[in-house]
Amino acid sequence: MNKITRAGVIASVYIVLCLALQPISYGVIQLRVAEALTVLPILYIEAVPAIFIGVFFANIFGGLGIADMVVGSLTSLAAAYLTYIFRNSILAYLPPIILNAFIISIYLHILLNFPYWATALSIGISQSIVVFGLGYPLVKFLRKHGKGN
């Protein structure tokens, strides 16, 4: 599969997972299954822009408007880039957890008046479950079956 096609598939799958699982994909308490894909920059550089695009379009449907679309997407872009930078280390799994927990919580606190630290903890736990429970096994599977790089 070429890089452009792979990027399109990653972005599309991200969007479809968010929409198909919409009740649990948005809000302060969420379990966004699509975030499992945020570790794909460990294997594929093209996953970096793909995650950004997927998050941008998925967040159109999240109900928080431009803040979620712009800040959420840029946070995911930064996390994907850092995941790529740390791809040869266990640290690669941390950027989607840490950045989402601390940055997304800022605008959820501002827009929805949720307590910042409780929101950061909730998002951090949710991200950890998805990244380590689904993303980590996904990367192991793809590596085992020769799908990495």
Listed residue (35, 29, 3, 10) closest to 133, CA to CA: 35
Predicted confidence pLDDT, tens digits, the chain (149 residues): 799 999 999 999 999 999 999 999 987 788 999 999 999 999 999 999 999 999 999 999 988 889 999 999 999 999 999 999 999 999 999 999 999 999 999 999 999 999 999 999 999 999 999 999 999 999 999 999 876 65
Radius of gyration of the chain (CA): 14
- Is residue 34 within 8 A of residue 18, CB to CB? The reply is yes
Predicted structure pTM score? 0.93
